[in-house]
Amino acid sequence: MRLPGIPVDIPRFACISAVLVVLLVAGAALASRLLFDQPRWINWLEQRATADAGRPVHIGALSVHLLPRPGIDIYRLQIADPADAQAVPLVQAAQVSARLALWPLLVGQVRIAGLVAKGVHLELERNSDGVPNWRWPAAGQGAAPLDLGALTSVRISQSSVRYRSPQFDSGITQITQLSILSEPGWRDIEVEALLRRDRRELVASARLDQLSVLPSGRITLQTGSARLSAEGRLPLQAVLTNAAVKLQVDAHRPNDLLAFMNLDAGLRTIAPISLHAELHESGGTLTASAIDARLGDLQVTGNARLDRGGSRPTFDAQLSTPLLDWVAVLADAGRAPLPPKPAGELFHSRPFTWRALAALKGAQGSVDVRIGRLRTRPGVELTDVSSTLLIDDDTLQLSQIKARLLDGSASGDIRLKAAGKQAHMALQLQDISLQKWMIAVGGIAPLTGGPMQIDARVDAHGDNMKEMAASLSGPVRVRVGPATIISRSGAQAEALLTGLTPIFSVRDDNRILLECAAANLVFVDGRAAASPLVGVRSQASQLLTSGILDLRAETVDLHGRVRARSGIAIGLATLTGDVRISGPLDRPLVMLDPTGTPSALMRLGAAIATGGLSIVGTALWDGANPGTDPCQAVFRDNARSTRRGARAVP
C-alpha cells in the first residue's frame, strides 16, 4: 500500500494506523463540537437548509456518530409550507439519519451518502393556479442546494403522504417501505415501494438511467389484478417536453385500482379494462397514437393530438369502434341500470350528466367518431354511424350525424350546452320502418310496412328527459307511408289500432290497409295544438283531426270526422262521422265524439230514409276531391291555426 508522501519502507500496518488516528482525531473534533455546542450547530443547519429549500426549516434535536460510519441523526424535522408557514408543514419527520461520505469529511466537506427516514409525512398541495408547494426554488432564489451527488441510498419507512388540490383530496397513503438505490451522480436508479391505503396495497417499481427531467426507463404500478406500466423517455414532472412513452394498463378487476385511489364510491363492479397507447411530445404538441382501449366487449381504436401552442389548448382525435352497446357499456362502467318508469309515464326523470359537460369549460377541439353498430337504450340498432364531436367550452355539438337504421337513414345535428342545460336538435329520418321500430322497442308489431319520414327541429332544456319533453319547442313533421295493420291480441301496443279497425277497414274486415298518416306538430313548451294536427287515410276511409298532443301531461286529445272513400262500403265510420282519440299517450282510446253524436244520428236517419244514397253520395264527393286528402291537409294549413292552437293551450 502506497500513500502520497509516505516512504515505501514504512510497514503497511503503520500506514493503516496513521489513517485511523487521523479519522479518530477528526471525528473526535467533530463530535466535541456537536456535543458541547449543539444549539449552534442546529441553528447553522436550519439556516443552511432554509436557504436551500426556500422555506423555513426547523430541527428539534440532532446527534452525531462515528461508528459504524460517520453520520448525523436529526429528530423532529419540519419544513414549512412556502405559502403559509403557519399551515400544516410540507414535511414532518420523526427521524432522519444521514450517512456521510468518509473521504470528503476528512477535508471538511459534508456530503451525504445515504438517508434513512422514519415517521415522515408529506403534505403536497396545488393551489387554484396549479402551483405546487413542493417546487424547489429556481437558481438565484436561494443558496446553492446541498450537494447530493454522493447520495446512493434512500430508505423510508412508516411514513405517509397526502395530495390535495381545489378539486381533489387523495386522503392519506401509507408508505410502508420505500427504497431508492443508485450509482453516484444519480445514475442507474432502482426504486421499490410498498404503499397501503385502507388495507389495500400498491407495489411500485422503477428503473431509470438517470435522475433528470426526462430519464429513460420503466415504471410499473400494480394493485390487486390492476397493472400500469410506462416505458421510454419518462417525464418526472407535469410538463411532457420531448417525452416518448409506451403506456399499458391492464386491469381484470379495475375496482382494485379505483378503490386504492378512493374513486370507487357508488360504483358497481366494473368490467375488465385495458389501454395501450404510444405518447409523443414535440414542440408543445402531444400525440397519442396506436390507441387501443377496451372496456368489457367495447373496443376503441384511433389517434389523438393535443396542441398547447395557442392561447388555449386544442385537441383533435379520430376514434372508431365496431360495436357500441350503450346499455352494456354503462353496466360495464359500473353504472346502475335505469329504474323502471312509473306506470303510464313515457319519460325517465333520471338526471343527465350535465356536470361532466360543464367540466369541459376551457377545452376546444373535435373528435371524428365512427361506429360500426350502435345499440341504443330503447333497443333500436344503428349501423355505419359517423359524426364529428365539436367541443367549445361547455358546449358539445354532434355535427354531420349520419347512420343507417330500420331500413332507412338518419342525418342531422345535436347541440348540448351545460349553461342552462340546453339542447337543440335538427334531425331528419328517411324511410324508417314503423314495423321494425315497433319490434325493436316493444318486441311485437301488429302491422307490416309503414316507411316513415320525420323532420324535427326542436329546442329543449331541463335536468332530465322528463323536463326536456315538457319544454320541447319547435316543429316535428311526420309522414307514414303504406302499411297493413292486423290487430290480433289487443295488447297495449295495439290498443289504438284495435279501436281504429272498424273506422279504417272495409266492413267485416279485421285489417286496415293504411295508405298514409301524417302529423304536423309545432311544439310550444311541450305542447302541440293546431287545427288540423293529424291526418290518416286508409283504403276505406280518411280522418283529419284537430286537438292537442301534450308531452307535459303525456296525454293526447284529438277529434275529427271520418269520411268514407269512394266506392267503399264500410260500417261504423260512415254512420258516426265524428271520432275522438284521447287519453294517455302510451294507450289512447278511440270513441265517438259526444259533440258529434247528434249529427251522426241525423246522418243515420238520412241514410235510412234514402236507402243509403246519402252515404254513397258523400263518399263519391270525397273521392272526387283530392283536396280532402288528410295526409296533405295537415301541411297545407297556414301558420295562423297553429299559433291559435298554441295560444289556446292553458
- For residue 130, count other CB atoms closer than 10 A to its CB: 9
> Does an H or E element contain 640, and which?
helix 639-647
**pLDDT value of residue 478:** 92
Place of cell 366494473: 270
- For residue 8, count other CB atoms closer than 10 A to its CB: 6
**pLDDT value of residue 500:** 58
The 10s digit of each residue's pLDDT in 307-354 is 987 778 899 999 999 999 998 998 888 887 777 777 777 788 888 888
Q: Please give the grid coordinates belonging to residue 585.
A: 299517450
**Nearest to residue 74, comparing CAs of 89, 64, 84, 86?**
64
**pLDDT value of residue 136:** 66
pTM comes to 0.74
Distance CA 578, CA 562 (A): 6
**pLDDT value of residue 505:** 54
CA distances from 649 to 528, 551, 557, 577, 640 (A): 9, 12, 12, 26, 15
Q: What is the DSSP-derived secondary structure letter of residue 583? A: E
**pLDDT value of residue 487:** 56
Cβ neighbours for 336, distance < 8 A, ≥ 6 positions apart: 268
> What are the residue ranges in the chain where pLDDT is below 50?
1-22, 25, 36, 139-145, 489-495, 497-498, 567-576, 596-627, 638-650
Distance CA 121, CA 141 (A): 26
Distance CA 548, CA 534 (A): 10
Cβ neighbours for 641, distance < 8 A, ≥ 6 positions apart: 530, 531, 532
Please classify residue 316 by burial: count the beta carbons closer than 10 Å to its beta carbon, then call 0-12 exposed, 13-18 middle and 19+ buried: middle
Look at the chain and count its residues.
650
**pLDDT value of residue 82:** 74
The 10s digit of each residue's pLDDT in 516-531 is 889 999 999 999 998 8
